[in-house]
Structure formats: structure tokens, C-alpha cells
Amino acid sequence: MKLAAVQLSISDADSPSDRLALVEQAVATEAGNGADLVLLPEMWLPGYFGFDGYGAVAEDLASGPTVARLAALARRDSVYLCAGSLVERCGDKMFNSTLLFDPEGSRVAVYRKIHLFGYGSREQDLLTPGRDIVTVDIAGCRVGLSTCYDLRFPELYREQVDQGAEMFLIVAGWPFPRVEAWRCLLQARAIENQAFVVACNAAGIQTGSTFAGASAAFDPWGVCLGSLDHRPGVLHLDVRVEDAFDARAEFPALADRRLGRS
């Protein structure tokens, strides 16, 4: 499976329409380069730190114009699109929701961020936490979806493994001061679950907060398959999905679990 994680630049100088134009161009380019799956960062439309703009860009998933355009992109370019996360409006609530589209443009998964960030953030004040753990089959691989701060809660990934996940797709707006924690936790989630980790973060500076960039991927042994620095860019990967099965067969650590299994 060929993957492309698009590390978008988010800044005060650009607008949601600017970012949408960048996304449309990036998806077309990466699909043209042979990507099977394109991955975008968390909350790229308002920018994670653009809290005052959350309400203006919030959309119902069934009728939202941005959701429709993302579905059309996946269909136009015949690619799986993990469209980062958007502000979902559902009744009087808003969620940080990650959407996954298949090459026909059908929405095959929605993950509402469970762990909302509270440290120096308004996310917990504005949004409602999700409740459902989400995994889905794409291109012969079971993937689990999660978002940014979720990375600090390993029990989520254990639950995804119990649902059959061989790969974790993580979208993020992770800030620079904790970039070493980001790298360490990504590798740990790969090692302890014997799963691929593919993580797409944002780049740039918004409202005085600097995104860490450092999008990265790890194989089921914890070996880094590639990473980016703090600048905008695209992380290209060619993953052999069977390596997760092989790693678990060669070193069956998951079979030795004694806690947290039903």
C-alpha cells in the first residue's frame, strides 16, 4: 500500500478557503503519483488553534459542503482519503471528527475524538468527546483511527488491536513544545501493539502556537519508516501490510497479554 501523509502549513495568514485549495491540489498530486491512501492533519480547515472559528466551519456530515467536496476528491482521484478531522455539528453539539472516504467517494468511517485536550486549549470547552472506537478495512488492511491527544492513552490502541487493527492512522495538530513526546509515543504505540503507525501532523504557526510537524511512520517492530521535519511537506511510504502479520507470528507478544482482555 502506498501512502502519502500531507503535512499542511497552518498559519494566521491563510484562510479556510486557502487550505481547502491546498488540500485539493495535494490530493490530486499524490493520487497522480500513485498513492493508494492520502492522509491529512487534524482540524486543518479552521486550524486546530483557531478556536474562535470552529463554529463558522462546523458542518453536518450529511449535508456539509466541505464533506461533499472531500468525498468528490476521493472519487475524482480514485484514492482512499483519510481527510484529517473537521468540526462536525450534530444538533447542538460539535465534535472533532475524522472522516475516511473510499475511492468511490463513500464515507466508510467517522471517528469522533475521544480524548479532548484541555491544557492551554479550548477544545474541551467547545467540543463534545466521542465515545466509539473505530476500525475499518481498507485495501486488505484493518486500520484504526485516532486523533492527536488520543496518542497519550494506550488503552485506545489496545482496543483497536482487539478489533483486528494492523495499522493506526493518527491525525494531529501537535504543538512543538512536546515534539519529543510525540515521537516517543508514536514509536511506543507501534512496538507495544506490533502494528504500523502512520501519523500526519500540521506545520506552521497559528495564534502564537507552533505546530511540531514531524509527521512519521513506524513499522510493527518500531523501526522508523520515514519522518518529516517542522516544515510543510509530504511523507511518502510504501507499506507491506503483511509485515504486521509476520511480526506477530515471529514474536507473539500479544498472545502473552494477561490484563485488559475479555
Distance CA 95, CA 10 (A): 20
Distance of CA 161 to the CA centre of its chain: 17
Distance CA 2, CA 223 (A): 18
Catalytic residue numbers read 42, 113, 148
Asked whether 114 and 156 are in contact (CB, 8 A), the reply is yes
The secondary structure of residue 256, as a DSSP letter, is G
Strand partners, 211: 175
Q: Which three cell numbers stand for residue 26?
A: 495535494
Asked whether 54 and 46 are in contact (CB, 8 A), the reply is yes
